[in-house]
């Protein structure tokens, strides 16, 4: 299993605007996924249509690189990437969570939004492995999002909530960090589904 030590590429705020590879001949990156282990609960599926707007993602976490944060330093795990852009995989996981677990709400796409009295806006403000005790210690996966339910006809805010899920990695290894991010994602989405169901009645 691969240890995380100096295996991160530190980036500055300037680099975020346009990153490039310093090692074009490096070995291919190991690819990882998250959001595939969402469990379904029992009960009838939701029938109240709610339109889902495009999910907004924090700029640093967008794309296929695995983001880490140590204090004010932002870095990406070297030679390891998501199998697809994180924002795309997160939306897929979100839709799966509602499909499998919502009891009131049924998400609809924008093209079907005329049938929905409510719109769900989701902004993912943190999606990272956070080193809170230094690089030698295992990090904590942090997934934070802001959710808003809005009345579609007049854009009146119906409800809003900030959700944060934190899961410590079992060790400072990429595979365990990915597992922690997956678990934190699932926890955050379970809370989102429950909150949306409660406020869309």
Whether the per-residue pLDDT at 126 is higher than 50: the answer is yes
pTM of the prediction? Answer: 0.84
Tens digits of per-residue pLDDT, 68-121?
A: 999 999 999 999 999 999 999 999 999 999 999 999 999 998 777 778 999 999
Q: What whole-number distance in Å separates Cα of residue 144 and Cα of residue 132?
A: 16
165 Ramachandran zone, left/alpha/beta (phi>0; psi -120 to 50) = beta
Extract the runs of DSSP E, i.e. beta strands, from the chain: 8-11, 30-32, 48-52, 56-57, 65-70, 73-82, 105-108, 118-130, 140-151, 157-168
Rounded to 10°, the helix 86-101/174-199 angle is: 50
Instruction: For 151-199, write each residue's pLDDT tens digit.
Output: 988 999 999 999 999 999 999 999 999 999 999 999 999 999 999 999 9
Given this model, what pLDDT does residue 23 score?
42
DSSP state of 3: B
**Residue 17 tokens, joined:** 């605007």
Q: What are phi and psi of 133, to 5 degrees?
A: -125, 30
Nearest to 105, CA basis, from 44, 186, 49: 49
Token pair in block for residue 136 = 């030698």
Backbone phi and psi for residue 199, each to the nearest 5 degrees, phi listed first: -100, -5
- Going by pLDDT thresholds of 50, 70 and 90, the confidence category of residue 18 is very low
Structural domains in the chain, sorted by start: 45-199 (3.40.50.10610)
Helix (H) / strand (E) containing 152: none
Q: What is the pLDDT of residue 27?
A: 64
State the pLDDT at residue 37. Answer: 73
For position 40, what pLDDT does the model report? 61
Query: pLDDT value at position 41?
Result: 62
């Amino acid at each position: 299993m691969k240890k995380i030590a100096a295996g991160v590429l530190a980036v500055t705020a300037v680099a975020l605007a346009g990153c490039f590879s310093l090692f074009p001949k490096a070995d291919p990156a190991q690819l990882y996924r998250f959001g595939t282990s969402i469990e379904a609960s029992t009960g009838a599926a939701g029938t109240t249509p709610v339109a889902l707007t495009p999910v907004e993602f924090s700029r640093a976490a967008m794309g296929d690189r695995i983001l880490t944060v140590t204090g004010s330093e932002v870095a990406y795990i070297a030679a390891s990437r998501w199998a697809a852009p994180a924002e795309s995989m997160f939306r897929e996981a979100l839709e799966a969570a509602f499909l499998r677990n919502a009891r009131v709400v049924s998400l609809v796409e924008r093209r079907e939004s005329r049938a929905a009295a409510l719109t769900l806006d989701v902004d993912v403000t943190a999606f990272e492995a956070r080193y809170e005790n230094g690089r030698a210690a295992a990090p904590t996966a942090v997934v934070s999002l802001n959710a808003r339910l809005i009345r579609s006809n007049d854009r009146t805010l119906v409800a809003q909530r900030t959700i944060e899920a934190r899961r410590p990695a079992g060790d400072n290894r990429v595979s365990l960090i990915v597992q922690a991010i997956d678990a934190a994602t699932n926890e955050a989405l379970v809370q989102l589904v429950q909150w949306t169901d409660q406020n869309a009645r």
